[in-house]
A and B are shown apart, each in its own frame.
Chain A
Amino acid sequence: MNIIFLLIGCSLVLAVGFLMAFIWTVKSGQMEDDYTPSIRMLFDDKPPVTDKDELVSK
């Protein structure tokens, strides 16, 4: 039954991973706009310049 210690450890680590992922999504603003991305993904064109560096390098 000692395997349970390991299993519980694994499940907790996994769950903490998901919690971190959730915190990251909130931080990066994915929870702020839940509508526009659903439309944006349907555009065929290549996405607008997203990298600030690209602009600087011009």
Chain B
Amino acid sequence: MSKTAIAAKVSCFHCGDKIASSPILFDEKSFCCQGCQGVYELLSHSNLCDYYAISDNPGLAQKNPVSKVKFAYLEDDEIQKQLIDFKDQKISRIAFHVPTMHCSSCIWLLESLYKIDKGIGHCRVDFLKKQLSISFNHHETSLRKIVELLSSLGYEPTLSLSHLEETKKVSNNNQLLYQVGVAGFCFGNIMLISFPEYFGLDSLSHKTFSRLFGYLNMGLALPVFLYSSQSYFKSAYQSLRKGIINIDFPLALGILVMFFRSSYEVISHSGIGFFDTLAGLVFFLLIGKWVQQRTFDTLSFERDYKSYFPVAVSVLKEGKEHTVPVTKLKVGDRMLIRNQEIIPADAILLNGEAKIDFSFVTGESQPVDKVLGEMIYAGGRQTSAAIELEVCKPVSQSYLTQLWNSEHFTKDRVSQIITFQSVVSRYFTFALLGIAITAAIFWLLFDPSRSLAAFTAVLIIACPCALALSSPFALGNALRMFGRAKFYLKSPEVIEQMAKTNHMVFDKTGTITNAAQAAISFIGADLTKEDKEAIFTIANNSVHPLSKKIASFLNLHNIGNAGLSNFKELTGKGVSAHYGKSEVRLGSANFLSINSFEPNADVLASYVGVSINSDYKGFFKISHAYREGLKEVIDSLALNRELSLLSGDNNAEEARLKAFFPKDSTLRFMQSPSEKLLYINQLKENGQQVVMIGDGLNDAGALKAANIGISVTEDTANFSPSSDVIMDATVFNQLPKFFQYAKDTVKVIRMSFVVSLLYNLVGLSFAVTGTMSPIVAAILMPLSSISVISFTTAATWIYAKKRSLLQ
């Protein structure tokens, strides 16, 4: 075995990456880079090597260490005040979002930070939320030191502009939990107390027990009626005021009628009432609500440009560098932007070589060169040495942030979704009231004493508990199934909307292509150094995107254009030029007068041939990194919906993309963010239900405007624009399945509606006669609820299996 082969097998003790070249040996362990070794040294110094014992190679690669200057802004009092949750004379408390935590070793290390920095007191990790809460003594350490420590260990917390402007939200989730608890407590006790009544044991004992039990039940039902069922009354009242009848209206009516009729029966000693049914109903309903609310807390679906921008930026004043919060940037400030930093405001380039990567903002995949004095829009990422810029518009008014001022970002969209349930419940309510009134009138004519009993019995028995449970359980379950397949939905309502869509719009860069995977290889004779220089210089001078890719593949130092002459670029064919003494041609097979490069040419790749002095040398094969299975995805989606493509890029790939898409699809190139938004709105005006699938800030407007916005991301912890769905890029090839499964879920809801209506019909046949006993209600209500819950759970699971979402 050769030496390199052995080296390739060694993996870094810290991060587990394969070590390609010679490993750094330290403490008899091998490391891939200085960074990893540094972390190990720090941990072993603090006696924290258990970190490596809990999981294998838990560390995060440290090949790109963050510069320490980056966190200088954390010294700023103003910024500290906004980040820190609590501060007294000695102790400060702060919660960080740490997206890189991934295993139990991470939890252990992050909770042991106090061993490294003595100023740190209590550390607690919430793994699912990826949150780290730290309390520290701010006399012994500082916020900046803690953040630097975290970053040096590879756990850089997310600190962004949105954190500064965010007002801390108090979750109302606890309120629901209390309500469930109270309802459950009352339900259990009322059932227990009602048991003698069910079995008719009362006849054996004194009448006093029956009365006592009645009053006890009433007492226990009070908290259910007054506290736990509040939200149903509120919701019914609010929608009535808007002139809408939602599912909560018959529910609230049923609860109301049940409580008062039962109280009347107890007080007048004429019966024991329906308190058991009432408590059970509210308990099941609240559980349904809770199931529906359990979504993906860890993912942020509402991010806008603010969470993409940095918190602070370096500003040069009188030759000195200061750190200024981005919100305080003024027109005329001179910013210093280093490699890989984001430009936070529209600015003019004053100094340095700007190579700006706008891929996230415009969709253009090539970094753009800018010359001195040129305007650079906010959102671009510098990919070369540091540059100096003068701010010409404040952050809130920059070109990019204009998008967020459009009306789409102020509208609340969830309320616009018309669910199947809301449609059905309207008809249901009218039918219910109709039957109740008919029954009342009928008995009024024949036996007036039974009239009121029949009227209330109908409202009680037909209280659409099972109906109200089918949607939450079916959708809540489906949401979790989607989650297991790495397709994360913002809310369960999205599923129904997904099932309705009939037009799908794709973004190109980052969505159907994966820029990081673009692969270039040279196949042919070995090239000499002079040959490479020649090819590089010529490719570098050509404007064709493929030439740019070849130039960056060869990655030589720019040696200038000396020696280059007779440069000719023929559109659609190639480039020819003289370099030194040799004549070089780069271009298509036709241009080089050969038949073909490869016998079985790859349709997904581009070929550029090379000949020097009419001597054919070989070819560059540039494979376009379309996502795996793109052809199948598009074919299958095209079966029952229209497709469009909107790209911020130029139309170089148009011909190739046309081969993918069906003939009637629209392909548009050079689309600005607002043009994308406009296109989506046009489709919607034509009555189409639109899904937009994109990845960058340039799609943000379109994602928001579409009926469903899906953002594709390589790493769900990273920034993704505001959307309804966050999809892991690895499951792109399963996209058609997701849409089929959404349709299946809607089918399940319809079936369970039928089931619950059947129960209602059975109950109604008892109720209209006016002779319904409490025990019938007490059996029918839980039975219908439980059968609907088990039916929806089983059916959504079976469909998920069928669509192979569970692996």
Report A's interface with B, CB cutoff 8 A: 1, 4-5, 8, 11-12, 15-16, 18-19, 22-23, 26-27, 31-36, 39-40, 42-45, 48-50, 52, 54-56, 58
A36 to B107, CA, bound (A): 8
Min distance, Cβ A3 to any Cβ of chain B, angstroms: 12
Is the pair A58, B137 in contact by a Cβ cutoff of 8 Å?
yes
A5 to B209, CA, bound (A): 9
Q: A8-B193, A56-B91 are in contact. Are A33 and B126 (CB under 8 A)?
A: yes
Name the residue on A nearest B213 (C-beta): A8
Can you identify 10 A-B contacts, CB atoms within 8 angstroms? A1-B206, A1-B209, A8-B193, A11-B192, A36-B125, A36-B126, A39-B107, A43-B108, A45-B108, A48-B111
Measured CA separation A15–B205 after assembly (Å): 25
Nearest 5 Cβ contacts at the A-B interface: A55-B121, A36-B127, A19-B185, A33-B126, A22-B181
- Is B652 among interface residues, defined by CB-CB distance under 8 A? no
**Is B205 a contact partner of A1 (Cβ separation < 8 A)?**
yes
Interface residue tally of chain B, by bracket? 35 or more
Contact A48 B122, CB 8 Å, known A1-B205, A33-B128, A56-B90: yes
Q: Are B178 and A42 in contact (CB under 8 A)?
A: no
Residue pair A45, B192 in contact (C-beta under 8 Å): no
**Is B404 interfacial (CB 8 A cutoff)?**
no
If A50-B122, A55-B122 are given as contacts, then 13 extra A-B residue pairs at C-beta distance below 8 Å, sorted by A number, are: A1-B205, A1-B206, A11-B192, A12-B189, A15-B188, A19-B181, A27-B174, A32-B126, A39-B127, A48-B124, A54-B121, A55-B91, A56-B90
- Asked if B411 is at the interface of the complex by the 8 Å CB criterion, the answer is no
Which secondary structure dominates chain A's binding surface? helix
CB distance from B664 to the nearest CB of A (A): 48
Q: Could you say which residues of chain A place their CB within 8 Å of the CB of B216?
A: 8
A5 to chain B, nearest CB (A): 8
Could you give, for residues 259-298 of chain B, a 1 whenever the CB lies within 8 Å of some chain A CB and a 0 otherwise? 0000000000000000000000000000000000000000
Question: Given the complex of chains A and B, what is the CA–CA distance between A32 and B127 in angstroms?
Answer: 11
* A-chain residues with CB within 8 Å of residue B50 when the two chains form the complex: 43-45
Query: Quick one: which of A18, A44, A55 contacts B185, CB cutoff 8 A?
Result: A18
B residues at A contact (CB < 8 Å)? 50, 54, 90-91, 104, 107-108, 111-112, 114, 118, 121-129, 135, 137, 174, 177-178, 181-182, 185, 188-189, 192-193, 205-206, 209, 212, 216
Given contacts A49-B114, A55-B121, contact A36 B205 (CB under 8 A): no
B135–A52 CB distance below 8 A: yes
Q: Which residue of A lies closest to B103 (CB)?
A: A39
Q: Name the A residues within 8 Å of B111 (CB-CB).
A: 40, 48
- Name the CB-closest residue of A to B121: A55
Contact with A52, one of B122, B182, B212 (Cβ below 8 angstroms): B122
| A26 adjacent to B122 (CB under 8 Å) | no
CB neighbours (8 Å) of B90 from chain A are 55-56
Provide the residues of chain A in CB contact with B128, threshold 8 Å.
Answer: 33-36
Q: Report chain B residues within 8 Å CB of A16.
A: 185
The residue of chain B having its C-beta at the shortest distance from the C-beta of A12 within the complex is B189
Q: Whole-angstrom distance from the CB of A29 to the nearest CB of chain B?
A: 9
User: B277 CB to closest chain A CB, in angstroms?
Assistant: 20
Query: Are A49 and B121 interface neighbours, CB within 8 A?
Result: yes
Q: With the chains together, A40 CA to B135 CA distance in Å?
A: 19
Alpha-carbon gap, A19 to B182, bound state (A) = 7
> Smallest CB-CB separation from A40: which chain B residue?
B107
Given A4-B209, A15-B189, A36-B107: A48 touches B112 (CB 8 Å cut-off)? yes
Chain A residues positioned under 8 Å from B135 (CB to CB): 52, 55
A42 proximity list for chain B (CB < 8 A):
104
Q: B178 near A26 (CB under 8 angstroms)?
A: yes
B218 → A minimal CB distance (Å): 14
